[in-house]
């Protein structure tokens, strides 16, 4: 799988393909405290036709769950509406995002 992620300082990513579903899986960390708009350039992919994002984030990178706040830091899932092999996405500060993208 050839891929190139043009990312900003503090953003780290890896890519893999799910052989069963054919989905492209991107795991992306934004270690910065502020949101970062990131350009994804997926060489070798004709088109992304949508997908799903699971995002784990918190305003403060030191936040943690507790008995009184068991869901303070918990994953949220949303639909990804991307098309083409190149797209932009704003990554929340202090976040870990898993993108499962349907590709052609």
CATH number at residue 8: 2.60.40.1180
pLDDT digits 0-9 by tens, 10-62: 899 999 999 999 999 999 999 999 999 988 888 888 888 899 999 999 888 89
**Residue 25 lies in domain:** 4-103
Domain tally, the chain: 1
Half-sphere exposure of 84 (CA within 13 A, CB side): 6
Q: With a cut of 70, say whether residue 4 has pLDDT above it.
A: no
Q: Specify the pLDDT at position 104.
A: 84
Residue 5 banded pLDDT, cuts 50, 70, 90: low
C-alpha radius of gyration, the chain, whole number: 14
Average pLDDT over residues 4-8: 54
Q: With a cut of 80, say whether residue 8 has pLDDT above it.
A: no
Question: Which sign, positive or negative, has the C-alpha torsion 7, 11, 14, 17?
Answer: negative
pLDDT digits 0-9 by tens, 77-96: 999 987 788 888 999 999 99
């Amino acid at each position: 799988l050839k891929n190139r992620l043009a990312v900003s300082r503090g953003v780290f990513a890896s890519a893999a393909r799910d052989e069963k579903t054919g989905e492209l899986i991107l795991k992306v960390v934004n270690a910065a405290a502020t949101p970062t708009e990131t350009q994804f350039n997926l060489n070798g992919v004709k088109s992304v036709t949508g997908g799903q994002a699971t995002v784990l984030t918190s305003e403060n990178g030191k936040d943690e769950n507790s008995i009184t706040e068991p869901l303070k830091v918990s994953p949220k899932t949303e639909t990804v509406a991307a098309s083409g092999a190149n797209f932009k996405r704003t990554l929340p500060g202090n976040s870990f995002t898993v993108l499962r993208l349907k590709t052609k």
